[in-house]
Chain A
Amino acid sequence: MALTIGSLLALSFVISLIALLFLIWGITGGQFDVDQRDANIIFTADDAVNHKDRDHRFDTEAAGIDEVSRGPVRVLIASAILWLVLGSIFGLISSLKMHWPDLLDQWAPLTFGRLRTLHLNAVAYGWSSLGSLAAVMWLIPRIFHTPLRFPRLPLYGAVIWNAGLAAGLIAIALGWTDGLEWLEIPWQIDGALAVGGALFAIPLIASALSRQVNHIYVSGWYFIAALCWFPVLFIIANFPYVHSGAEQAAVNWWFAHNVLGLWLTPLGVGIAYYFIPKIIGKPIYSYSLSLVGFWGLALFYSQVGIHHLIGGPVPTWLVNVSIVHSVMMFLPVIAVAVNQHVTMVNNLWALRDSYPLRFVWLGALMYTAASLQGSVEALRSVNTIAHFTHYTVGHAHLGVYGFVAFVLFGFVYEVGPRLVGRPWPWPALIPLHYWLVLVGFAIYFVALTVGGWLQGKVMLDALRPFADSVTLLKPYLEARSLGGTLMTLGHFIFAFHVAALFMQRAPQTLARTAA
């Protein structure tokens, strides 16, 4: 054992040395130079001139450059929203079942253990992933100043990914699952998602290589890294017959946290890094700080996963590694927060004008909150209470819903009209969606945070029966269902509005625009 650990330490030392050499080479070669002026590459000549006029205006310059990517982006947005609606229904029924346990209990596919899994997979791999990929495909021409290369690949990618996910969900509903949280889709089907992911990575890298600006904008760093990471992660974690037992649990949580930290998070942060300054019309606060945020995320987020096994049957050193890295996440999170929020706070007027900006910035704000909360939650003293409770469920939704979904709502509202060349048919539905999901999610999060904490306290009290931890949760679970209902309603309105925008006939809208 001492030999194994010793050789691993030696190996990690060698790898650190190589990384250090890489870094020195990069710095001397100017690879890591960023200049505040580079932050301006997302703006076009007429940007930042007249912000108020810009809303819903179709950008003719972008029209030419978007010609080839418009199709894939539409397909990706449409399928993402379909998964959002389905995933919300699964989630809402799961939530109802936690306080009405006899609801829909006659058929195995509708049992809680399967519906909850359908919910997670539909919203994580359907809505969040495909929605983010839509944003990536839309932003590629904007940050690289060149049309999307291989524009048919994302279309194939979308088809393969959607088919794989649909097959995976049907398998789960019928009881065929790999049985690991976040990895339930049977490995025989997983290949589709890995191939699909690669089909998005190729156009991104090809477009980056043939870009018409020297600098790669910060969003591009996150996108390139995320699309390189995902296929690797997904294949390693799903490779069958390699792991079992406690060791498999470590692999499971290495993956499950990386799919958040190295996939959804960099995509969401990258999207926010584009839209916040773009909508405001002013560059981000400190462009060089974004380097710290990016490399910090890569270094620290990749090793936090085992904080899901604190107190569990895995080596102490392993748990400690993840706790330390979880706390180190403060660094990149604060770097991103300073960049995005200072930019926003200096331009608060813009929030009044733009619902897309409200969505994106609120999402960025919830990213900061979820990350800081997550770092604290990894501390042993806090984890003892919060682990195994609904507190963690609240936290997970603050990250994946509060952050990723909000950023994506903002993205769809911002680009929808530019995508089809028509304004939103019923602009009043946008604030309605905004307030429904905001109020709904506030109820959701507060209920689970308070209820989960109390649940954890009761479970730690040897003098109180386990049943107390169940009965005390009931009102909080009901409140969660209420919040979830409002969120789901908001999603229905969102889906309806996007469908109306996409399917609207052009002549009608010309009249509307003229009026």
Chain B
Amino acid sequence: MNRVFPLAILALAILAFATLVLVVAPGLQVGAVGPTPGLQPYTAQQLRGRDQYVSLGCVYCHSQQPRSLAQAPDSDRGWGRAAVASDYYYDRPHLLGTMRSGPDLFNIGARLPSQGWQLTHLYQPRAIAPWSIMPAYPFLFVHKDKAETGDVVVALTQNYAPKSGVIVARPEALDLVAYLQGLKHDQPPPASAPRDAGYDRGAER
């Protein structure tokens, strides 16, 4: 090969073709599908909580894409039905994730709906699950001598509680929990919504 421009143009043409197949085509197909019927947009507080989720990098250990029972026992673990594209209608940025150092969270709001549980778990995961390797997020909380009106106090067992005073959730922690509580994707999926059905034998979509 002795010419620069044919080389560069062909290389760019191949990339353009790949972009067409992997970006434009799915964009058109997925973009044509609206939200899953019954899926609620995020509230302002949930969006603030989602920003916390993004900024703290929760996505690097928690996926949000349960797989079908034909592939994996995700729904047996209470992680929810197989996700379809329309479940993500309101998601920007997407948080599908590629890692399950911790469990899938796409239906955490249905599986563990308690605000108190979530706050304690965020403050110190090992106060609830001694085997957990999740980071603690003490900076989302504040240590006070005494709770004031409107404060949400974190319930802690003796070995994790401060010697005196109380641990109170900061707004960031409350927002994050509101987001987690809202993660429920149990609406019946529309038939037209795409999903990789490669594992569902005879169920070509």
Chain A residues close to B by CB (< 8 Å): 1, 4-5, 8, 11-12, 15-16, 18-19, 22, 26, 30-34, 97-99, 101-102, 105-108, 111-114, 116-117, 175-181, 205, 208-209, 214-216, 221, 224-225, 228-229, 232-233, 236, 243-252, 254, 258, 262, 291, 298-299, 302-303, 305-306, 308-316, 318-322, 380, 384, 387-390, 392-393, 459-462, 466-467, 469-471, 474, 477
A111 near B56 (CB under 8 angstroms)? yes
Smallest CB-CB separation from B88: which chain A residue? A245
Contact of B197 among A8, A18, A262, A316 (CB under 8 A): A316
How many chain B residues sit at the interface, stated as a range, is 35 or more
Question: Which positions 57-109 of chain B face chain A at CB distance < 8 Å?
Answer: 57-61, 63, 65, 67-68, 71-73, 76-77, 83-85, 87-96, 98-103
B93 adjacent to A179 (CB under 8 Å): yes
Do B133 and A470 have beta carbons less than 8 Å apart? yes
**A residues near B147, Cβ cutoff 8 Å:** none
- Return the chain B residue nearest A218 by Cβ: B1
Please judge, given known A-B contacts A245-B88, A380-B198, whether A179 and B23 are in contact too, CB under 8 Å. Answer: no
Q: Which of B1, B138, B205 has the most CB of A within 10 A?
A: B1
Stretch at the interface among B14-22, B40-48, B148-156, B175-183: B14-22
B25 and A8 contacting across the interface, CB-CB below 8 Å: yes
User: B59 and A181: CB pair below 8 A?
Assistant: yes
On whether A26 and B32 interact (CB within 8 A), knowing A105-B136, A180-B93, the answer reads no
**B57:A318 contact, CB within 8 angstroms:** no
In angstroms, Cα B107 to Cα A291, docked, is: 49
- A4 closest partner in B (C-beta): B28
CB-contact partner of A470 in B57, B72, B76, B101, under 8 A: B101
B191 at the interface (CB under 8 A from A): no
Interface residues of B in 1-52 (CB under 8 A from A): 1-4, 6-32
For A211, the closest partner residue in chain B by CB is B4
Q: 10 A-B residue contacts at CB 8 Å?
A: A5-B29, A31-B2, A101-B125, A244-B91, A245-B91, A248-B91, A248-B94, A315-B26, A390-B101, A467-B131
What are the 5 closest A-B residue pairs judged by CB atoms, nearest first? A113-B57, A245-B88, A462-B73, A302-B18, A175-B55
Q: Which residues of B contact A389 (CB under 8 A)?
A: 99-100
Question: Is B134 positioned at the interface, with any CB of A under 8 Å from its CB?
Answer: yes
A463 to B120: give the CA distance in the assembly, Å. Answer: 28
CB distance from A359 to the nearest CB of B (A): 28
| A466 close to B133 (CB less than 8 A) | no
Inter-chain CA distance A394–B143, complex, in Å, is 40
Contact A98 B101 (CB under 8 A): yes
**Interface contacts beyond A22-B13, A314-B30: sample of 19 additional A-B pairs, CB < 8 Å, sorted by A:** A1-B32, A4-B32, A114-B57, A177-B54, A180-B94, A216-B1, A216-B3, A216-B7, A229-B15, A246-B94, A302-B18, A313-B85, A313-B87, A315-B26, A315-B29, A316-B194, A320-B198, A388-B99, A392-B98
What A residues does B20 contact at CB under 8 A?
8, 11-12, 15
In the complex, chain B residues whose CB is within 8 Å of the CB of A460? 72-73
